Homo-oligomer: A and B are copies of this chain.
Amino acid sequence: MEFSEFRPLDDNLLLDYIKATPSLSSIVGNNFDDLTVKEIGGGNLNYVYIVVGSSGSFVIKQALPYMRCIETWPMTRERAYFEALALKEHGRLCPQNVPKVYHFDRTMSLIGMQYLEPPHIILRKGLIAGVEYPLLAEHISDYMSKTLFYTSLLYHTTLEHKGLVAQFCGNVELCRLTEQVVFSDPYKVSQFNRWTSPYLDCDAEAIREDNTLKLEVAGLKSMFCERAQALIHGDLHTDSIMVTLESTQVIDPEFAFYGPMGYDVGAFIGNLMLAFFAQNGHANEHNDRKIYKKWILRTIEETWNLFHDKFIALWDKHKDGPGEAYLPEIYNNVELQQQVQRKYMNDLFHDTLGFGVAKMIRRILGVAHVEDFESITDPSKRANCERRALELAKKLLKERRKFLSISEVVSTILELEA
Binding site for B on A (CB under 8 A): 153, 158-159, 161-163, 165-167, 169-170, 172-173, 175-176, 179, 184, 187-189, 211, 214-215, 218-219, 221-222, 225-229, 324-327, 329-333, 335-336, 339-340, 343
Within the complex, the shortest CB–CB distance from A331 to chain B, in Å, comes to: 7
Does A340 lie within 8 Å of B215, measured CB to CB? Answer: yes
User: Which chain B positions have C-beta within 8 A of A335?
Assistant: 211
Does A327 lie within 8 Å of B165, measured CB to CB? Answer: no
Does A226 lie within 8 Å of B225, measured CB to CB? Answer: no
* Option from B167, B187, B340, B343 in Cβ contact (under 8 Å) with A330: B187
State in angstroms the CA–CA spacing of A82 and B331 once bound together.
Answer: 32
Within the complex, the shortest CB–CB distance from A254 to chain B, in Å, comes to: 16
| Chain B residue nearest to A190 in the complex (CB) | B329
State in angstroms the CA–CA spacing of A159 and B158 once bound together.
Answer: 24
Does B166 lie within 8 Å of A169, measured CB to CB? Answer: yes
Does B329 lie within 8 Å of A225, measured CB to CB? Answer: no
User: Which chain B positions have C-beta within 8 A of A172?
Assistant: 158-159, 162-163
User: Which chain B positions have C-beta within 8 A of A163?
Assistant: 169, 172
Please tell me how many copies of the chain the complex holds. Answer: 2
| Chain B residue nearest to A221 in the complex (CB) | B325
Does A327 lie within 8 Å of B228, measured CB to CB? Answer: no
| Chain B residue nearest to A189 in the complex (CB) | B329
- Supposing A211-B335, A214-B331 touch, asked if A325 and B158 sit within 8 A by C-beta, the answer is no
Does A215 lie within 8 Å of B170, measured CB to CB? Answer: no
User: Which chain B positions have C-beta within 8 A of A326?
Assistant: 218
State in angstroms the CA–CA spacing of A214 and B330 once bound together.
Answer: 8
State in angstroms the CA–CA spacing of A189 and B327 once bound together.
Answer: 12
Not counting A162-B175, A215-B343, a sample of 7 additional A-B residue pairs whose C-beta atoms are within 8 angstroms of each other reads A153-B225, A163-B169, A166-B166, A211-B333, A211-B335, A218-B326, A226-B227
* Option from B158, B215, B222, B333 in Cβ contact (under 8 Å) with A175: B158
* Option from B159, B218, B219, B324 in Cβ contact (under 8 Å) with A331: B218
* Option from B161, B173, B179, B228 in Cβ contact (under 8 Å) with A324: B179
Does A218 lie within 8 Å of B325, measured CB to CB? Answer: yes
| Chain B residue nearest to A342 in the complex (CB) | B215
* Option from B159, B166, B215 in Cβ contact (under 8 Å) with A176: B159
User: Which chain B positions have C-beta within 8 A of A170?
Assistant: 162, 166
* Option from B153, B161, B228, B336 in Cβ contact (under 8 Å) with A214: B336
| Chain B residue nearest to A154 in the complex (CB) | B222
State in angstroms the CA–CA spacing of A373 and B81 once bound together.
Answer: 54
| Chain B residue nearest to A164 in the complex (CB) | B169
State in angstroms the CA–CA spacing of A218 and B165 once bound together.
Answer: 20
Does B340 lie within 8 Å of A225, measured CB to CB? Answer: no
User: Which chain B positions have C-beta within 8 A of A159?
Assistant: 172-173, 176
State in angstroms the CA–CA spacing of A184 and B325 once bound together.
Answer: 9
Does B161 lie within 8 Å of A215, measured CB to CB? Answer: no
Does A329 lie within 8 Å of B188, measured CB to CB? Answer: yes
* Option from B176, B215, B336 in Cβ contact (under 8 Å) with A158: B176
User: Which chain B positions have C-beta within 8 A of A229?
Assistant: 226
